A = this chain, B = another copy of it.
C-alpha cells in the first residue's frame, strides 16, 4: 500500500471520485462514485448489478481520481486493486450514506446486493506534482 501525499490528503473530504475499471472488451470504463475515506484508505459501496462491480470482480485493477472541488487543475490519482467484500446488512453502505445524507437502499432495487470495495493503492500521485 502506498500512502496519499500529505499535500493532497485534504482531497479525501471531497464528494466525488471517478472510478475507472477495465471491461471485458479490454477497455476502460469510468463512472462517478461516492466514496468514504477511512484514514488514508478509500472505500466505495457498490451495487453488484453494476458494470463497474462486474469488472472489478473479474479484474480488480482500477484507478480512482479525486478532483479538488475548488480547483479542477488539482487532483490525485490512486492506482491499485479493489478488494470486494459483501455488505449484506448495508453496514458500510450506511456509513457512506451518513456522509451524503442519503439512504443507499433508495438507490437500489429489491433484491440488489452491495459490496464494499476497498482500494489497495499501489501508486498515489497528486497533480500538479510538487516534485
A interface residues with partner B (beta carbon < 8 Å): 15-16, 18, 20-22, 25-32, 59, 61-65, 67, 72-73, 75, 77, 79, 127
Q: Is the CB of B18 within 8 A of A30?
A: yes
Interface pair B31/A22, CB less than 8 Å apart: no
Judging by beta carbons under 8 Å apart, are A61 and B25 in contact?
Answer: yes
A-B contact pairs, 17 of them (CB 8 A): A16-B67, A18-B18, A20-B29, A20-B30, A20-B63, A21-B28, A22-B28, A26-B59, A27-B61, A28-B79, A29-B63, A30-B63, A30-B65, A31-B65, A31-B77, A31-B127, A32-B67
What residues of B have a CB within 8 angstroms of the CB of A63 in the complex?
20, 27-30
Beta-carbon contact of B27 and A22 below 8 Å: yes
Residues of B within 8 A of A59 (CB): 26
> Do residues B29 and A79 form an inter-chain contact, with CB atoms below 8 A?
yes
| A28 with B61, Cβ < 8 A, contacts A18-B18, A20-B20 known | yes
Q: Please measure, in the bound complex, the distance between the C-alpha atom of A73 and the C-alpha atom of B107, giving whole angstroms.
A: 14
